[in-house]
Amino acid sequence: MNDKINLNYLENYAHDVSEKICSEYFGTKRYMSGQEIIQLTPSSQVNFMVIKTLFEKWNAELEKLKANPYFDYKDMAVSEALKEFMNVLSRAIKIEHHHFLPLLEIAVIDTVLLALDPMVYFWGEIEKSQGSSPHGHLKASRKYIKWHENMLNELMEKGGHGYADQYKTALSDTYQQLLDQLAEPKPLLEGLAQVQPIVWEQLLPETKKKNHIEDATPDETPLHNESPEAEDLEETQVDSEEKVEAVEKNAFGSHEKDIDPALAWAKFEAEQSGILKGPITSMDDGLAINQRFMFTKKLFDGNPDLMGHAFKSIDECDSFVEAIDLVNDRYVDELNWDKESDEVNEFLHLIYRKFDEK
């Protein structure tokens, strides 16, 4: 999927859908049970994504327990007891409204991403392995992922018990191999669209632009000699576009200059846009799945460790200006960043969210 997803629209859509579903359900009930989650929406994939998130949260808690040095969690009896405990616990799911809403929002976003761009989605799943082989995580997740199963199975076969880098290479190969066989996103998302229609032109704005260009005919193209008024209007529009372009370029500096933190801050403060709005405690906390993939590939030469080090260094900065200075010193020239690109724009906006003051 080459069309860029509008993260602002996707987040707002996920929030609106989740609010609607939760308002209807919790209007008469206090708790959500596991069986009710499975039947919650017309999209079975959304329902399973919620269960998948709960399963992952349980595993996170279990890892904390295993970190305790006083008990042998590899003991067979302990292992069997934990499995039985999980089975009992899974039949006792009981979630209140304010806890369930964010789970559902994540499930909707993950579902849309899986439908639109399975490569980015599975890249995010590989990242969850955190230094271990992704095989175990993907194997456990397979029961909850109902779309692009052939891609997931092929990925696991090629990746074997290798680590993240091997899986990412296998993912790229698998995606190219199965690209023509992947299901179209619109039919996959029909169940979700029954709850609330998806405005595809907003979700995938690049598709709208391409369709507009392809549908245009010579008769629809304005002629320069139609009238003096038409020429004036066109010149005014060009001047306006040039001014906007100049402001955006100045916000990040020219190719010969570093990013200007003051101009960048002013630009983002004026925009206050959707998914990139609101403070975050750390760079990693504010990162969407497809942003992680995009930043790693486009800004950090495909090296997730390099990006992780950059995030840690930025988190240790005391201000937005200090963070931008760090980015200028270490990455902009060294990694040959295009300061006018969408990737750099989103990366800088993530830094903006990290700091409450200049």
Verify that 193 and 288 share a domain, yes or no: no
Residues 67 and 140 in one domain: yes
Do 281 and 198 sit in the same domain of this protein? no
Cα separation, 44 vs 38, whole angstroms: 7
- Nearest CA-CA partner of 32 in 78, 83, 95, 92: 95
SS3 annotation, the chain: CCCCCCHHHHHHHHHHHHHHHHHHHCCCCCEECHHHHHCCCCCHHHHHHHHHHHHHHHHHHHHHHHCCCCCCCCCHHHHHHHHHHHHHHHCCCCEEHHHHHHHHHHHHHHHHHHHHCHHHHHHHHHHCCCCCCCHHHHHHHHHHCCCCHHHHHHHHHHHCCCCHHHHHHHHHHHHHHHHHHCCCHHHHCHHHHHHCCCCHHHHCHHHHHHHHHHHCCHHHCCCCCCCHHHHHHHHHHHHHHHHHHHHHHHHHCCCCCCCCHHHHHHHHHHHCCHHHCCCCCCCHHHCCHHHHHHHHHHCCCCCHHHHHHHHHHHHCCCCHHHHHHHHHHHHHCCCCCCCCCHHHHHHHHHHHHHCCCC
Instruction: Decide which of 229 and 178 is more confident.
Output: 178
pLDDT bracket for residue 116 (50, 70, 90): very high
User: Do 27 and 154 share a domain, yes or no?
Assistant: yes
Domain boundary among 186, 203, 220: 203
Q: Tell me, yes or no, whether 218 lies in a domain.
A: no
Residue 221: the pLDDT is 42
**Residue 154 resides in a domain:** yes
Report residue 249's pLDDT band, with 50, 70 and 90 as the boundaries.
Answer: very low
Beta bridge pairs of residue 95? 32
Considering the domain architecture, whether residues 195 and 304 belong to the same structural domain is answered as: no
- 179 with 43, same domain: the answer is yes
Please name the residues in contact with 178: beta carbons below 8 A apart, sequence gap of 6 or more: 150, 151, 154
Region 258-278: mean pLDDT is 71
Is pLDDT above 60 for 250?
A: no
Same structural domain for residues 12 and 132?
A: yes
Q: Which two tokens stand for residue 98?
A: 């304010």
Single pTM value for the model = 0.68
* Domain end residue (candidates: 180, 203, 226): 203
Minimum mean pLDDT range among 4-13, 149-158, 278-287: 278-287
- Any domain includes 228: no
What does the pLDDT read at residue 15?
A: 93
Same domain as 121, residue 34: yes
Average pLDDT of the segment spanning 95-106 = 94
241: pLDDT strictly greater than 70 = no
Same domain assignment for residues 31 and 110: yes
Contact assessment for residue 108 and residue 192, using Cβ atoms and an 8 Å cutoff: yes
Same domain (yes/no): 198, 326:
no
Give the integer Cα–Cα distance in Å for 142 and 127: 16
Q: Is residue 233 part of a domain?
A: no
Q: Domain check: are 41 and 146 in the same one?
A: yes
Residues of the domain holding 89: 7-203
Q: At what angle do helices 7-25 and 97-116 cross, to 10 degrees?
A: 140
pLDDT of the residue at 113? 92
The answer to whether residue 209 sits within a structural domain is no
pLDDT in tens, 3-47: 678 887 898 999 999 999 999 999 999 999 999 999 999 999 999
The reply to whether 57 and 197 lie within a common domain is yes
348 in a structural domain: yes
Residue 105 is predicted with a pLDDT of 93
Of the spans 140-149, 254-263, 302-311, which averages the highest pLDDT?
140-149
Number of domains in the chain: 2
232 within domain boundaries: no
Residues 167-177 have pLDDT tens digits of: 988 998 999 99
Q: Is the pLDDT of residue 289 over 50?
A: yes
Mean pLDDT computed over every residue of the chain? 82
Residue 248 falls within a domain, yes or no? no
Q: Which of 176, 203, 230 corresponds to the end of one domain?
A: 203
